[in-house]
Amino acid sequence: MTHMLEGKVAVVTGGASGIGLATAERFVSEGAKVVLGDVQEERGREAAARLGDAALYVRTDVTEESSIEALVAAAVDRFGRLDIMHNNAAAQGDVAAIVDLDGEAFESVLRLVTRSVLLGHKYAARQFLRQGGGGSIITTASSASLEAGWGAAGYTIGKHAVLGIVHQAVAEFAGLGIRSNAIAPGIVITPIMVSSFGVPPEKTADFSEFLSSRLGLHNPSGRVAQPDDVAKVALFLASDLASHVNGATINVDGGATVVALGDASAAGVTKAAMEYSAR
């Protein structure tokens, strides 16, 4: 522990599990007070209890504006200020292709994936300005913010829009000392991700190991990310080490979005050529 966030107060949405929980744990270990916002009440309370007096859980539905406003207010009421806002909560939502998209279902994805990030910026920035300016806003984007094919249509569109929010925030807030940056994870093995495939809870650890080994074969680094891989980047962006980092999107994908793999890559063409020559 290096006390990189000593005296800082952070809000983490989706903080009860996965990337959000790993980030909260990192922040607390570095001296921060953390408010966990999540709809998972049991997990949220357990996480806050485990983190001790430095943490508070607040039930938060990020699709509701009043809920995000109340989350920020709870952080200030409990710990006196706000220094870091991590917009992390999201989910895949409707998996329909473009030709099958239902308008209402699509809007529900945007409320969770995109609108929540906009509102997180809104209420964090308002509080930062009340305090005299300065602050760090971090948003969990995705490889789906950079390329299609990492998620369904609604999720991909919503995650692309998230980067637009980050860029606009820099245009409006940089002169006030408020930074906004994004992290773009690739595939991350989390309990919610595993459960979304219908795996029984008691098989979570075994399936996670199996899935990680299979997916790792298709990553340049030979493995997929764990939540703490993302949390360590969030710690950097929250800290003074990143004081001149603004508007960045940091990939945490082992190189997956910059190296072509599989049969469409040069290696795939080489394989095909060898198979052709052997005919």
* Upper half-sphere CA count for residue 138 (Cβ side, 13 Å): 34
Instruction: Give the distance from CA 113 to its chain's centroid.
Output: 10
Helix or strand run (H / E) with residue 211: helix 204-216
The yes-or-no answer on residue 155 being catalytic is yes
Give all strands (DSSP E) within the chain, no chain letters: 9-13, 33-38, 55-59, 84-87, 135-140, 178-185, 249-252
Quote the tokens at residue 98. Answer: 């473009």
Closest by CA to 183, choosing from 254, 63, 88, is 88
Give the chain's end-to-end CA distance (angstroms, integer): 60
Per annotation, catalytic residue among 57, 123, 155, 276: 155
In 3D, which of 90, 250, 246, 120 has the Cα closest to residue 173?
246
DSSP conformation letters of 14-70 = TTTSHHHHHHHHHHHHTT-EEEEEES-HHHHHHHHHHHGGGEEEEE--TTSHHHHHH
Q: How far is CA 159 from CA 25, 30, 71, 111, 203, in A?
A: 25, 29, 23, 11, 30
- The pair of three-digit structure tokens given for residue 148, joined into one six-digit string: 């299609």
In three-state secondary structure terms, 165 is helix
Active-site residue set: 155
